[in-house]
Amino acid sequence: MILTREDLIRYLKPGNPETLQEIIDLAHRVRLNHVGNKVWLRGLVEWTNRCAKNCYYCGIRRDNKEAHRYTVDFRALEEAIDTALSNKFGSMVVQTGELSGEQFVEEIGEVVKTIKSRSDNKLGVTLSCGEQSEETYRYWYECGAHRYLLRIEASDPELYSRLHPQDRFHEQKNRFISLELLRKCGYQVGTGIMVGLPGQSLQHLADDILTINRLDVDMVGLGPYIPHHRTPLYELKELLLPAAVRLELTLRVLALVRITMKDINMAASTALDVLVSSGRLMALRAGANVLMPNLTPADYRKDYFLYDDKPWLTEALDLVKKISGQVRKYGLEIGSDEWGDAPRFAERNSKKTTTGKLL
Ligand code: 5AD
Ligand code: SF4
């Protein structure tokens, strides 16, 4: 379905329950037709909260000296892998702050190899470790990672510049270059944004949706912005839309991305559960088809605070049990023992257009 910028702005506008229901129902139908009724599980491991960057919105930014820094150990990783396997998860996601250097690159390579060998290649591996060199992306791919998430955060250059320090480590153009490199290395590529940022307009969000379409990614992960009290952006909290509006806006963006992109994978982000306890469930009804239960060992999990009030106490297996019952009423079921790749990726490769430009 082709939607113009004006159509998108109209459908994004909060406050009209009819248009909300209309796009959620359409997104659900598109989802069933193009990616089926499965909800794919990815066991999330937040490997380290060390980060060299200083994004204004994020609780684990370098200058937050209050954050207690950790790196998970390999024994705990093995336990998480075993939990994923015994509960029929098809994949794992390894997320970190953005670090560079030989030691980090090697370490993540080992993490990937451990997941692949311990699971006998049963588990797919998604990485979310920020902007890296082509060589690093290639190395991790060779270790066995085959999907990579790197959010653009916001497509508008001016808004992006208000969210990040003005230095060479936070240049927007490098995001786009990284996404190109990831595609070139053979990854299934994912991107996304935050919804409800201070100063973000409906026009910005419509342009985000158009940009994500133009990027022709295989996966999308987007969620609401949630303030963190130890970040510079917290000072703008008076400009924040009420939680209910941020929730509605996020659901509208999710539905519109599903309607316009159809055969991609799309995650129900954890941040939604901060706004309302059924947030992720609502996302699964609005077009999302991926759930990422948190398998980070509890001792570490409490320190991976990108934002305040993170529902870190929700145990992964309790979440899966609860959601698997709840989604049944929408005709959905939890997928098991399969990687659950996005049909768009296979489709693109079969057409041999892998070199297709991202922008
Ligand atoms: N609220 C919501 N999402 C956030 N992220 C970082 N900080 C916040 C926040 N305060 C998201 C960013 C990043 C991902 C790892 O977490 O979009 O890409
Ligand atoms: Fe680091 Fe990512 Fe947080 Fe930015 S958003 S400070 S890169 S962890």
pLDDT tens digits, one per residue of 170-209: 999 999 999 999 999 999 999 999 999 999 999 999 999 9
Ligand showing the shortest atom-to-Cα distance for residue 275: 1
Pocket of ligand 2, candidates 55, 222, 228, 230: which has the most ligand atoms within 8 Å of its Cβ, to mutate?
Answer: 55
Pocket of ligand 1, candidates 148, 150, 307: which has the most ligand atoms within 8 Å of its Cβ, to mutate?
Answer: 307
User: Which amino acid is present at 157?
Assistant: P
Residue 356 has pLDDT above 50, yes or no: no
Report the Cα–Cα distance between both ends of the chain, in Å, rounded. 20
Residue 145 has pLDDT above 90, yes or no: yes
Give the Cα separation of 327 and 291 in Å (integer): 12
Q: How far is the CA of 108 from the centre of ligand 1 (A)?
A: 21
Give the Cα separation of 359 and 349 in Å (integer): 18
pLDDT in tens, 107-123: 999 999 999 999 999 99
Residue 131 has pLDDT above 70, yes or no: yes
pLDDT in tens, 262-295: 999 999 999 999 999 999 999 999 999 999 999 9
Which ligand 2 atom lies nearest to the CA of residue 59? 3
Q: How far is the CA of 98 from the centre of ligand 2 (A)?
A: 6
Give the Cα separation of 59 and 243 in Å (integer): 19
Q: How far is the CA of 218 from the centre of ligand 2 (A)?
A: 22
Phi/psi for 144 (5° steps) reads 130, 0
What lines the ligand 2 site, CB under 6 Å?
51, 53, 55, 58, 60-61, 97-98, 130
Q: How far is the CA of 306 from the centre of ligand 1 (A)?
A: 6
User: What is the DSSP track for 69-125?
Assistant: P-B--HHHHHHHHHHHHHTT--EEEEEE----SHHHHHHHHHHHHHHHHHTTT-SEE
Which ligand 2 atom lies nearest to the CA of residue 52? 1
CB 182 within 8 A of CB 147: no
User: What is the DSSP track for 173-187?
Assistant: HHHHHHHHHHHHHT-
Residue 214: partners with Cβ closer than 8 Å, 6 or more residues away: 358, 359
- Report pTM: 0.96
Tokens coding 233: 């952006």
pLDDT in tens, 302-316: 888 888 877 665 689
Pairwise pLDDT comparison (136 vs 312), residue with the higher score: 136
Of the candidates 124, 346, 344, the one whose C-alpha atom is nearest the C-alpha of residue 218 is: 344
